[in-house]
Homo-oligomer: A and B are copies of this chain.
Amino acid sequence: MAASEATGPNGAAGSGDGLYDVIVLGGGPTGENVADRVHAAGLSAVLVESELVGGECSYWACMPSKALLRPVTARSEARRVPGVDEAVGRPLDPPAVLAHRDAFASYWKDDGQVRWLDSVGVDLVRGHGRLAGPRQVSVDGGRTLTARHAVAVCTGSRPLLPPIPGLAEAEPWVSRNATSAQTVPGRLVIVGGGVVGVEMATAWRALGSSVTLLVRGDGLLPRMEPFAGHLVAESLAEAGVFLRTGVEVREVRREAPGGPVTVVLDAGDEIVADELLMATGRGPRTDDLGLETVGLTPGSWLDVDDSCRVKAVGDGWLYGVGDVNHRALLTHQGKYQARIAGAAIAARARGVPLLETDRWGAHSATADTDAVPQVVFSDPEAAAVGLSAAEAERAGYRIRVVDQDLGAVAGASLYAEGYRGRARIVVDLSREVLLGATFVGPGVGELLHSATIAVAGEVPVERLWHAVPAYPTISEVWLRLLEAYRGD
């Protein structure tokens, strides 16, 4: 059924004249989940994708980056345990790691994703979709699709390049290049200390590159608690990454394609490298979507309500789901929004009233504001959910911040010799529930979901005392945090 439209298997209308209940623009995880959810609710759906079904995450972000990073951490962790450390005699094998990455990026082919779409009964139209007025989408400027109920824009985001002289001409790497490169650059300069910069510095340094990381601010991972960036910076420095904070790039020069690139800093000094990765934030992929045909501004983020419906569009047929609405630029939040938007679209199509007053009901993406989790797969891992202390204060909460040295937890010291890490919870004193939590240290990635359930579940601190961490795991930090909160 791929690349054609047809009546859905459950009898929902989808027809040769391009009429569907729901049109989804963009076939990344967000778009796939919107289409799946509305189809499961009995609506016909078509997905329009101009590149690979599966999107950024599958081919150029989550999957390949984690395939590059897991060998780094697995090796580091083995080297931190007596009796194994000496057995890890060789550095990482770059060709093996890159081949592993290629496999996890499905060799940049979307056959598997297309088969999945087919199996769930969603049609696929390949091409560039543009709005052509209310409920209308034209594909590659040709045929027009019409949506009976909704159009969901799930086109995501793209890297934002700052206006630095010579930068565009130097053809810098952006995240896509950094996750899909087939050779290890001898010298790599990375601009930006957020997640992409930190993860790619970790991966390419471990694969053998000489890495310089340039950061405008005073630290890494600026959206997390400050200690996250401190611990990761310390570790990157030990791995041999040259970190420079508080610097701006004034100019970039690449004399010949494929030749060395020169990065000129504000202070005038120059760094020569083989590749330059720009990891300086992302902008919405909405510049060529025909937003102007429905009264919106091309190139802007889509302002949506908690069901992901675009606020400014009359009749409420337009949704913006995933990165494109700027609520939380993470694959898992896009999928979460997709489930909620899909349910909301289906409810409205059936004329069922939405549970809009129920903040934690099926039609409100409340976690986007209250409980967004993120794991940075650096070494150490940095994991956080909900509000940082600074964010909670800015939001006006009366809070208590409780910190714990993770290295003092028995389970952590057993996990790695000389374990270094830290945990923090931010407690709302008026309700005695957690607003946020942060864990930084080896092996904390899977620990985060405990905090995500505590935050999203609004589990009172008094009840958390009855959630006993198994001894001796790293999770026992929960007990230490509660003890510190009590004032031991």
> Which chain A residues (433-475) contact chain B, with CB distance < 8 Å?
443-450, 452-457, 459, 462-475
Give 1 or 0 for each of A356-387: 1 = CB within 8 Å of chain B CB: 00001110001100011111000000010000
Q: Are B467 and A371 in contact (CB under 8 A)?
A: yes
Distance A360 CA – B468 CA, assembled complex (angstroms): 13
Closest residue of chain B to A486 (Cβ to Cβ) is B40
Q: Are A80 and B74 in contact (CB under 8 A)?
A: yes
CB distance from A302 to the nearest CB of B (A): 20
Give 1 or 0 for each of A62-93: 1 = CB within 8 Å of chain B CB: 11001100110011011011111111111111
Count of interface residues, chain A, beta-carbon cutoff 8 Å: 88
CB-CB under 8 A from A63, the residues of chain B are: 410, 414, 472
B97, B467, B468: the one within 8 Å of A82 (CB): B97
Specify how many copies of this chain sit in the oligomer: 2
CB-CB under 8 A from A332, the residues of chain B are: 468-471, 476
> Which chain A residues (93-109) contact chain B, with CB distance < 8 Å?
93-94, 96-97, 99-100, 104
Binds B, one of A155-163, A221-229, A333-341, A395-403: A333-341
A329 at the interface (CB under 8 A from B): no
Inter-chain pairs besides A332-B469, A449-B467, 20 sampled, C-beta below 8 Å: A66-B411, A71-B82, A74-B78, A86-B90, A87-B88, A87-B91, A87-B92, A88-B88, A104-B414, A330-B471, A332-B470, A361-B462, A362-B462, A373-B469, A383-B470, A445-B475, A446-B474, A449-B450, A449-B470, A457-B464
The 8 closest A-B pairs by CB, nearest first: A83-B97, A78-B78, A457-B459, A87-B90, A449-B450, A449-B475, A332-B471, A82-B100
A-B contact pairs, 22 of them (CB 8 A): A62-B410, A66-B414, A71-B83, A74-B80, A75-B83, A77-B78, A78-B78, A83-B94, A84-B88, A86-B90, A331-B471, A332-B470, A360-B466, A367-B468, A446-B473, A448-B470, A453-B453, A453-B464, A454-B457, A456-B466, A456-B467, A457-B459
